[in-house]
Amino acid sequence: MSDSAPAPVRTSARVPASVSSRRLAAAVLAAGALIGAAALPASAADHARPQRQQVQISHVRFDAPGRDDRDNRTLNKEWVEITNSGRHGVNLNGWTLSDERGHTYTFHHYRLDGRSTVRVHTGRGHDTRRDVYQDRRREVWDKRDTATLRNDRGHRVDSVSWGRGRHH
């Protein structure tokens, strides 16, 4: 028997190609997952944010056909349409619709559904989901006027003017 020490086991600093390929692929996948995870919340947050409601004055009939005889039927042919083009309903409680002279209609306990329109008539009548009435005995909208819609905080939401030198 010899007194010699066992031969040292030689280890290679080189890793077989299949192992390093797997490690590289794992690192790339992990980096991609981190980038994807960081990007996803920002993208998801953009889609989850509710869109601002699009409530606006969509149409005005300021000169009712026929004589201006203060007849309720004639008064109700004068109206302003308010449209919500958004998907979600909007509570219009406390919102106002006014003309240049300060005639003001205030919405009470009314919710305008998404993608729908309400017609605000000048005369008297029974409110429904599609029609509400100012219960006035005289015309409001002149041949040259401005209809202004304000929210419950008094901020102007929309305004439409018509007549000479004005745009409808």
Task: Write the pLDDT tens digit of every residue in 80-128.
Answer: 999 999 999 999 999 999 999 999 999 999 999 999 999 999 999 999 9
Alpha-helical regions (H) of the chain: 17-48, 72-75
CATH (residue range 55-162): 2.60.40.1260
Degrees, nearest 5: CA angle 115-160-138: 100
Residue 46: pLDDT band by 50, 70, 90 thresholds? very low
User: Which residue ranges make up each domain of the chain?
Assistant: 16-49, 55-162
Degrees, nearest 5: CA angle 97-103-108: 45
Q: What is the pTM of this model?
A: 0.67
